[in-house]
Amino acid sequence: MANINKELNKSEARNVFILFDSWGPIVEEQVLDKAAEGSSAVNMSAAKFKNELANVLGAYGNTVLVLNHVYASLQQYGDAFAIPGGKKLYFLSDAIMMASSAAKAKDKEGNIYGKIITAQVKKGRAAKEFAKTHFLIEHSGGVNPYYGLLDDAIASECVFKPKPGYFPLPDYDLSNRQQVKVCVYGKVLDENYSQILFANPDFDLETVFLIDCVQKRIKIDKEAVKHLRKLKVIEGKSPNIFLSASVSETIGEQSQYVKNKAFNDQYYRDLIVKYLEQYGSAKKRDVRELLWDKLPEVMDDKQKESKVKNLLAQMRRMGIITTDSENQQKSSWILVKDLNK
């Protein structure tokens, strides 16, 4: 190694790739000498030798890949798959992967065409420890570069798998006989809503996306609304649904929840009564201006107009207010008790 790295700078040394296959069988020269002599003496310096070798590998700054085959030991304590021969290699490594190949890849006819390797991060300075990934080694073509990419994308929240009925199907444009245009609707998950996943580990990505749609006032179908109601994450009547108090708190939208949640009708009736007590009468436009910004933000203008109209009609039926003229264009709303004075 000294000859290989002679006169190399750090950048050049890092580009030198060294492969050890395998770490376990590496032995000192004296072990071979003892074997030639027929000696049965146990070598007590193997761990020290490999620790020194690990130091040498780390000292030059080369890119080193060490392979090692391990088998479960019968020891009761410690790691059953520990790398034999000293601890220095473990401590100096940037990453350690434990790979197993128990699963076999089969085609539709049941023929085995490769092995599915499960790799777990045992130590990682640039990877999450204990995370697992899978890759496929085919008998005829080596490592399949595409195997497991979809699972990794789903796990990283970049892609998710929709359930039937929740999301729109692709649109097909057949107007041109020479080609077919397909419009596939992409679903972008707001990163802020990943907080909901942590607070509610039982929610899948589809549920979180639907919650995001509600918050953004994107219309969702009846099945989706039913699904969210079952989870108790929305309130209100369709189409004026909004996030429940618990979900709003999770994503820091408590103030928006208060704005979305309608006050009860008594609150609005009291406002109208207080206005009439103060000013004696009110046109419909006055009542509209009084209540407009206090009505739920999930309502559109048409729904707010309908709410004001229904409140006035309700108060009239209850005998609280009436009009001071039969001419609807000129009449104003007044309190019934003032009419009887």
Q: Per residue in 233-261, pLDDT tens?
A: 887 777 777 777 666 666 566 665 555 56
Residue 168: predicted pLDDT: 46
Name which residue leads in pLDDT, 42 or 2: 2
- Check: pTM over 0.85? Answer yes or no: no
Lowest model confidence (mean pLDDT) among 10-14, 76-80, 148-152, 329-333: 76-80
Task: Say yes or no to pLDDT of 128 above 70.
Answer: yes
Task: Say yes or no to pLDDT of 75 above 70.
Answer: no
Contact 120, 131 (CB under 8 A): yes
pLDDT confidence bin for 189, thresholds 50/70/90? very low
Residue 263: predicted pLDDT: 66
Lowest model confidence (mean pLDDT) among 248-257, 286-295, 308-317: 248-257
pLDDT confidence bin for 165, thresholds 50/70/90? very low
The span from the CA of 268 to the CA of 295, in Å, is 9
Nearest to residue 273, comparing CAs of 312, 221, 326? 312
Across the range 164-182, mean pLDDT stands at 56
Task: Say yes or no to pLDDT of 194 above 50.
Answer: yes
Positive or negative torsion for Cα 233, 236, 239, 244: negative
- Structure tokens, 245: 């108090």
In which residue are the tokens 């649109």 written? 171
pLDDT confidence bin for 172, thresholds 50/70/90? low
Residue 170: predicted pLDDT: 56
The span from the CA of 294 to the CA of 264, in Å, is 11
The span from the CA of 272 to the CA of 175, in Å, is 57
Name which residue leads in pLDDT, 24 or 14: 14
Lowest model confidence (mean pLDDT) among 63-72, 113-122, 184-193, 211-220: 184-193
The span from the CA of 127 to the CA of 303, in Å, is 52
Name which residue leads in pLDDT, 130 or 253: 130
User: What is the rounded average pLDDT for all residues in the chain?
Assistant: 77
Contact 16, 4 (CB under 8 A): yes
